[in-house]
Amino acid sequence: MLERISYRPIDCESLPLRLGERAELLAPLGPATGWRVREVGDGNLNLVFIVESDKGSLVVKQALPYARVVGESWPMSLDRAFFEHEALKRLGARDPGRVPDLKLFDPAQALLVMEHLTPHKVVRRALIEGEELPRLGEHLGLYLARTLFRGSDWSMPTAARKADLALFSGNVELAGITEELVFSDPFKDAPLNRHTPGLEAVAQAVHADRALKIAAQEMKARFATCAQTLLHGDLHTGSVMATADDTRVIDAEFALYGPMGFDVGVLLAHLWMAFFTRKAHRPDMRAAARTGDQLLATAETCWRVFAAEFSRLWRTERTGILGGRDLFEDQGDAVGSEAVLARHLDTVWRDALGFAGIEIHRRILGLAHVAEFEVIADLGLRAALERTALAFGRHLAVNRRDVNTVELDTVDAVNRVARDMERQ
Ligand code: SR1
Ligand code: MG
């Protein structure tokens, strides 16, 4: 894409010199001589700085030309900053107030300046610390319904939809990372894989598990071929920041067109992984039980709010190429349109279960692990919890067609499986 002859990574010292003249920072922060800068990036790919002054604060995010999690041996295109910017604009327009305000995008420096979300915490960290986030499930359910519906053929006119599909097809490098790291590597002996000591036999069993590998391949086919809507593409609990009453979605660089169930399933997988690790982080049994109930309730609320809001949008905003009002409502057949909706939600639910099961595997057996497991110092306990989560993930991926959809009792059934597996 862009020639970036002048691209240079920023550091804490150079940031005020490099950005100190930009009006977008000067206005909220005042002169650069008063800026205090710290690097806070703990993700796998980018530099993230918080810039504070006595007047205010902002976040500066810059893409690196390699994957931070591996190092310079894994070169990566800087174009992901462009796709993140394009995606955040769209996601923010589709669910206003749910992503950070964008202040500046500098394509040559692969750099984004945005609102500093404070006192928000990264949700993964908040959940490890046992924090209660009572609005999280509701907010994320609404966000999923609005962004997934409004980015789809049911909402968008055909020309805009196809232009967007073409645009985000360019995010090929990050799509390729997901295709390999999520759907393939964990199910074979891949060089970047790692796992907790003690899980060798489990990893071998996964590599030999034909039913699971078929499920992984089926989900990969859904991901690669079903360009249903604009996805966030990496919607785990590290991509969400929250307080007790606000929730924001960040880090949209993996955005691409794909199946709705992918964003839903990845998010549910991370809530369920938080559930499986709660006892390691909450030694008090009653506190752990309470945290567990909250996590399952958050996952359940997220799905139910998603389904309800998606249904509302279906009934009120179905103006896109797939609208279908001419076949149903216009002929006095609202029942027919409800049947199409029910079938679609059923597909999203089963896809979400499949993607959740695969996501759990890749976070335990693949390259990119998650803190709720990684910070458990007792490796025996960590391996035991990971085994339980893998068993649950396998159940979701392999049996996704037999887990009934939408109704409360279905979500309860999934929760019961999780609890039963823990007792084994
Ligand atoms: C090399 S990137 C590894 C992972 O980090 C990102 O957050 C995505 O989840 C990706 O799969
Ligand atoms: Mg990220």
Average pLDDT, integer, range 72-89: 95
Q: What integer pLDDT is reported at residue 43 of this predicted model?
A: 82
Task: Pick the residue whose CA is nearest to atom 7 on ligand 1.
Answer: 44
Task: Pick the residue whose CA is nearest to atom 2 on ligand 1.
Answer: 44
pLDDT tens profile 350-389: 999 999 999 999 999 999 999 999 999 999 999 999 999 9
Q: How far is the CA of 68 from the centre of ligand 2 (A)?
A: 11
Binning pLDDT at 50, 70 and 90, where does residue 413 land? Answer: low
Mean pLDDT, the chain, integer? 94
Q: What integer pLDDT is reported at residue 69 of this predicted model?
A: 87
Q: What percent of the chain has pLDDT over 70?
A: 94
Taking the CA of residue 181 as reference, the ligand 1 atom at the shortest distance is: 11
Q: What is the DSSP string of 18-43?
A: HHTT-HHHHHHH--GGG-EEEE---S
- Give the angle 256-354-210 at the CA atoms, nearest 5°: 115
Binning pLDDT at 50, 70 and 90, where does residue 409 land? Answer: very low
The CB density around residue 57, as the number of other CB atoms within 10 Å, is 16
pLDDT tens profile 61-78: 999 999 988 899 999 999
Q: Which residues contact 98 (CB under 8 A, 6 or more apart)?
A: 91, 92, 139, 142, 143, 146, 247, 248, 249
pLDDT tens profile 194-252: 999 999 999 999 999 999 999 999 999 999 999 999 999 999 999 999 999 999 999 99
* Ligand in nearest proximity to the CA of 241: 2
275 and 242 in contact (C-beta within 8 Å)? no
Q: Is the pLDDT of residue 3 over 90?
A: no
Q: Is the pLDDT of residue 147 over 80?
A: yes
Q: What integer pLDDT is reported at residue 410 of this predicted model?
A: 45
Average pLDDT, integer, range 18-30: 96
Q: Is the pLDDT of residue 406 over 50?
A: no
pLDDT tens profile 174-190: 999 999 999 999 999 99
What residues sit around ligand 2, an ion, with C-beta below 5 angstroms? 43, 251
Looking at this protein, which amino acid is placed at residue 320? G
Task: Pick the residue whose CA is nearest to atom 11 on ligand 1.
Answer: 178
For 89, the token pair is 């604009």
Q: Is 92 helix (H, G, I), strand (E, B) or coil?
A: helix
Furthest CA-CA distance within the chain: 67
CA distances from 283 to 128, 226, 287, 289 (A): 12, 43, 8, 10
Choose the weakest-confidence range: 13-22, 239-248, 292-301, 410-419. Answer: 410-419
The CB density around residue 158, as the number of other CB atoms within 10 Å, is 11
Look at residues 178, 180, 179, 170 and name the one whose alpha carbon lies nearest to residue 82.
Answer: 170
Binning pLDDT at 50, 70 and 90, where does residue 38 land? Answer: very high
Q: What integer pLDDT is reported at residue 235 of this predicted model?
A: 98
Q: Is the dihedral of CA 202, 205, 211, 214 positive or negative?
A: positive
* Ligand in nearest proximity to the CA of 251: 2
Residue indicated by tokens 């390691």: 280
For 251, the token pair is 């880090």
Q: How far is the CA of 287 from the centre of ligand 2 (A)?
A: 30
For 127, the token pair is 């959940």
Phi, psi of 36 (to 5 degrees): -115, 125
Q: What integer pLDDT is reported at residue 402 of this predicted model?
A: 86
Taking the CA of residue 70 as reference, the ligand 1 atom at the shortest distance is: 1
Residue indicated by tokens 């067609």: 401
136 and 126 in contact (C-beta within 8 Å)? no
Q: What integer pLDDT is reported at residue 407 of this predicted model?
A: 38
Residue indicated by tokens 């799509």: 175
